[in-house]
Amino acid sequence: MVPAGGPVNVSDYERLAEECLEPGPYGYFAGGAWDEVTLRDNVRAFERWQLRPRVLVDLTGAALDTTVLGTPVSMPILLGPAAFQRLAHPDGELATARAAAAAGTVMCLSTFATLSAADVAAAAPDGRRWFQLYVFKDRGVTRSLVDQAADAGYEAIVVTVDAPFLGRRERDIRNAFTVPDDIPVPSWEAGGRGEEATVFEMFELIDEGLDWRDVEELASLSDLPLVVKGILTDDDARLAADNGAAAVVVSNHGGRQLDGVPAALDALPEVVEAVESRVEVLVDGGVRRGTDVVKALALGARAVLVARPFVWGLAVDGEAGVRRVLELLREETLLALVLAGCTTPAGVTRAHVQRAPR
Ligand code: LAC
């Protein structure tokens, strides 16, 4: 139960979202793969690090604004890709786009969005947007998705590389979860399929043959910077940098793909070390609090992406709910930053965290 007075943090929003969503969509958004070990560990990993605050630092004028791939953002928190947002709220991605623009940060639109890239762009023309790409077996579809995103003003292509096949999602299997006919998925239709489908069926359109040569080719497909999302090891981080990526997202897909892999936060330091500042490093998975954001910055992330937190806001209250979740995360992050003795995201260093004693 959420206390009277309404939600005051992301977990309150999750509880409310569970009450207002049907079990199928809730299970889809909330769930992870197999035993959901990594799903839980993403959150818990933040408790394995402690902040090391510095005191008597002049905090006058402290602020969260920064840049990501040259894009100015009002805080080091971006909206990660989340599919099928009209299953959370009828306004879906339009509401998210408007809330992200109001918050002054980047929204990353999923290939499996329930509205077209152009329609989402038109909903918030001043917003900053990236496009998450799944590479279809039909490369004509892939190319047209990239072209549509570029034409609609999206500023980066975020290729997801940890999902050549869909992870084993037992909540979806139990719920017989499908995306219904009345909520079309434009990319799925472009791939030649239009009827009600399981996510598993949608992934049959995705190319499991993708390799690093394709990444290099994708980088040259448009003038947009390429972000490689789904990196968990130093070797792959170096390959991403070698093959044209401008940034990587350290991510295990929110625990939704291979279970039993390291928490995103735990994989972050090795990736940061491996890329030696050649590319920007972002991280997603398990961020629920402003203190989490500061820990990620301290371990070398330029910014974090959140997805479930804003989906809960969307489910509860549409655009206003997404706005509120982003404001809560902003307020919490600024407070954590100053209490750690920092005045800017760049001022948070490796010396501001340590491993928690076991
Ligand atoms: C998922 C895909 C669509 O995690 O990214 O469900």
Tens-level pLDDT at each residue, the chain (358 residues): 677 789 999 999 999 999 999 999 999 999 999 999 999 999 999 999 999 999 999 999 999 999 999 999 999 999 999 999 999 999 999 999 999 999 999 999 999 999 999 999 999 999 999 999 999 999 999 999 999 999 999 999 999 999 999 999 999 999 999 999 999 999 998 988 878 889 999 999 999 999 999 999 999 888 999 999 999 999 999 999 999 999 999 999 999 999 999 999 999 999 999 999 999 999 999 999 999 999 999 999 999 999 999 999 999 999 999 999 999 999 999 999 999 999 999 999 999 999 999 8
At 107, is the secondary structure helix, strand, or coil?
Answer: strand
Would you say the pTM of this structure is higher than 0.95? yes
Report how far residue 237's alpha carbon sits from residue 265's, in angstroms, rounded to the nearest whole number.
15
Report which residue type is found at 230. G
Report how far residue 103's alpha carbon sits from residue 322's, in angstroms, rounded to the nearest whole number.
10
Residue whose Cα lies nearest atom 4 of ligand 1: it is: 256
Active site residue 352: no
Taking only Cα atoms into account, the Rg of the chain, rounded to an integer number of angstroms, comes to 19
86, 129, 253, 302: which is the annotated catalytic residue? 253
At 174, is the secondary structure helix, strand, or coil?
Answer: helix
169 C-beta closer than 6 A to ligand 1: no
Token digits for 161? 């590389």
Distance from chain centroid for Cα 108: 7
Residue whose Cα lies nearest atom 6 of ligand 1: it is: 83
Contact indicator for 62, 278 with CB cutoff of 8 Å = no
Report how far residue 352's alpha carbon sits from residue 248's, in angstroms, rounded to the nearest whole number.
23
* CA distance from start to end of the chain: 32
| Cα–ligand 1 centroid distance for 221 (angstroms) | 24
